[in-house]
Structures are given as structure tokens and as C-alpha cells.
Amino acid sequence: MSAGAETAIVCDSSQYLPPEVIGAKGIGVVSLYVSIDGQQERELQITDYDDFYGRLRQSSSGATTSQPSLGDFLDVWQPLLDAGKEVVSIHISSAISGTFEAANQARQRLVEEGKGGDRVHVYDSEMACGATGLCVLAAAAAIEAGGGPAEALARAQDVRDTLKMWFAVDTLEYLRKGGRIGGASAWIGGALKIKPILTIDREIVPIERVRTRARSLERLRGYARQLHESGADAWVVQHIQDPETAATLAADCREIFGGEPAFISEIGPVIGAHVGPGLIGLGAVSWSLLKAG
């Protein structure tokens, strides 16, 4: 058996890779939680995003989110460990979520109980959404190529070192409510209605503030051209409740990058609760990081 066959990739639900990609690559997923008006749900069990975002818009108190329990990690990891595998578990930035810390606590419990915790390798992507998703795909590609945990973690780190995913958001209001606004806090309270462009570099970091949605999309197109010129060609587009704009940006990216995307997907409830509807995200890395060959 190759080293790759003995290593499994796990992530949390906040990367929003398309379900068919998760399934095809055999990636394990640990769900985060979201609550609206006191009703807590596993993110993975929310399949109707239109319904969720409708409820979010109508809620006066907004939504809260929480990391998986230790038991949630163990439920996904233990069968893999029992099968003799190593586990590489890749997660959302520890600066904006307690998920990474909870994963480390779950790993430590397995170590203390002698249940294979030494074979669990927990990785902080220091990013979120599609950026974390690209780390996951890169790690999976390293395993497909016959590598083990070290190669998977190195490939994920290569993505981390080269990728910045930009997000154009419709409003800062949801980030302000949720307390996860990071370095963009200085933009709160201005009289000017802005359409901010942000990235996640451990925490939320402001890139630019523009006045109109059209201008923010033009900046994303410019960023796509910049990424292509730097050699990145495996591109992703993500959105929240705006498939039409995502499709338009994707059409532009097919022309700019000269190829199809690594994936296009809608961002789900846990991240959506904190940024709100109307987000459009874009990023790209080299296809070499995502290929087994």
C-alpha cells in the first residue's frame, strides 16, 4: 500500500467545496454550527441556502456560529484511525474561529486515550472559504500522488504561501454585528456607502473600498488579470445569494485565465452569517499545486 493510500484528508464545513468534489476525493468533513433566533443547526444539514438567507434577513438579532465539538472531530477521525490511516485535518483560520483549537483538543484527547492521536496532523489554513478549499485540494493531490502527511501539509502550505482570495462584500453590517471585522473596523461608521474588498490573512484585512458594486467587480477582474500574469491559473469564484454575478465573473475569468475553474460554489451559512448576502470572492493558484502528477 502506498503512503498516499494510508493518509486521509479531513476539513471543516467552512471551505464550501462543491459536494461532488468532496465526494470524488473522499474528503471527510466536520460540521460547524449556526444558530438563528436560538435554533442551532449543523451547517452540513442546511441544504436550502435560499431559506437560510431568507431567515437571516428577517432576523432582528442575526445569526451566531460555533465550532464543532470534540466529539464531532472524533466521529470523523476515529473510523479513519481505526482503519490504520494517518489523518491530515485542515481548518479555517484560528484567528476568526475556534475550530482549529477544538481540533487540537480532540487530537490531544485521542493521544491521552491511546487511540491514535499521534497519527492526526491538524493544520491551520489561516484563511477561509475557497482559500481553505484550495489548501484541501492541494493536500488531496499530494496524497493522490503517493505522498503522506508531510507531503500533504507541504502542499497545503504552498497554497497558503501563494494565495490571497479577495472578497467583495455588499455591506460591513453583518461583520460588524458578528464582531469579526478585523482590520476593516476603521471603515465602520463612515457616511459614505462603500462596497469593501477584503481578504483573509489570519483575520479579515481590508484591501480597498469602492463606491459601487460595478467598481468592486471591475477590481476583482483586475485582480484576476494580476493573478494570471503571476502564473496562477487554477481559479475559483464563490458567492452568497448572487449566482448571476458569479456567472458573469466566471465568464470573464474563463477568458482571462484561458481555462475552466478549479470550482465555483456558494458560500454557506457559517461564513454567510458573518458577511451577509451579496459576497463575491475570487482567487487562484497554480494548477501544479492541485494535480497529482
pLDDT in tens, 181-193: 454 555 554 434 6
Does the structure show a pLDDT above 80 at 80?
yes
In angstroms, the CA 43 to CA 222 distance is 33
Task: Indicate if the pLDDT at residue 75 is higher than 80.
Answer: yes
Q: Do domains 4-32+67-161 and 166-289 have the same CATH topology?
A: no
pLDDT band for 61, please (50, 70, 90 cuts): confident
pLDDT tens for 103-118 read 999 999 999 999 999 9
Give the 3-state secondary structure percentages of the chain, helix then strand then coil, rounded to 5: 50, 25, 30
Give the 3-state secondary structure of residue 37.
coil
Domain 4-32+67-161: give its CATH code.
3.40.50.10170
Q: Which amino acid is at 95?
A: A
pLDDT at residue 249, rounded to an integer: 98
Task: Find, among 153, 1, 147, 12, the residue nearest to 77 by Cα.
Answer: 12
pTM for this predicted structure:
0.93
> Which of 1-5, 27-31, 56-60 is modeled with the greatest confidence?
27-31
Domain boundaries, the chain: 4-32+67-161, 166-289
Residue 62's pLDDT is 82
Please report the pLDDT score of residue 204 as a whole number.
Answer: 83
Longest dimension (CA), the chain: 62
Q: Which of 216, 218, 253 is nearest to 235 (CA)?
A: 253
| The pLDDT of residue 239 | 98
DSSP 281: E
pLDDT digit string, tens, across residues 201-226: 888 888 888 888 899 999 999 999 99
Please report, for the chain, how many H helices and E strands are present, in that order.
Answer: 10, 13
Spatial separation of the C-alpha atoms in residues 49 and 62, rounded to whole Å: 15
> Does CATH place domain 166-289 in 3.40.1710.10?
no
What is residue 1's predicted lDDT score, i.e. its pLDDT? Answer: 35
